[in-house]
Amino acid sequence: MVGRHRRDVSSTPSHDVPAWIEPVLAKPDSGRLRSGPEWTDEYKLDGYRACMQVAPDGTTALTSRNGIVVTDGFPSLAGVLAPGLDGRAAVLDGEIVVYNEAGQIDFGALQERRGQYRRHSRITRGGTPFEGADARFLAFDRLRLGAESLLDAP
Cα–Cα distance between 60 and 79 in angstroms, integer?
A: 6
- Comparing 106 with 118, the larger pLDDT belongs to 106
Look up the CATH number of the domain holding residue 116: 3.30.470.30
Could you tell me if residue 38 is inside a domain?
no
Specify the pTM. 0.74
Burial of 138 (0-12, 13-18, 19+ CB in 10 A): middle
Give domain status of residue 150, yes or no.
no
Which domain, by its residues, includes 139? 48-143
Q: What span, in angstroms and rounded, lies between the C-alpha atoms of 136 and 152? A: 27
* Predicted confidence (pLDDT) per residue in 115-132, tens digit: 777 776 767 666 666 666
Establish if 11 belongs to a structural domain.
Answer: no
- Catalytic residue numbers? 44
Residue 10 lies in a domain: no
What domain count does the chain have? 1
Asked, for residue 104, whether it belongs to a domain, the answer is yes
Q: What angle do CA 53, 55, 59 make, to 5 degrees?
A: 85
H-helix segments, 30-137: 82-85, 107-124
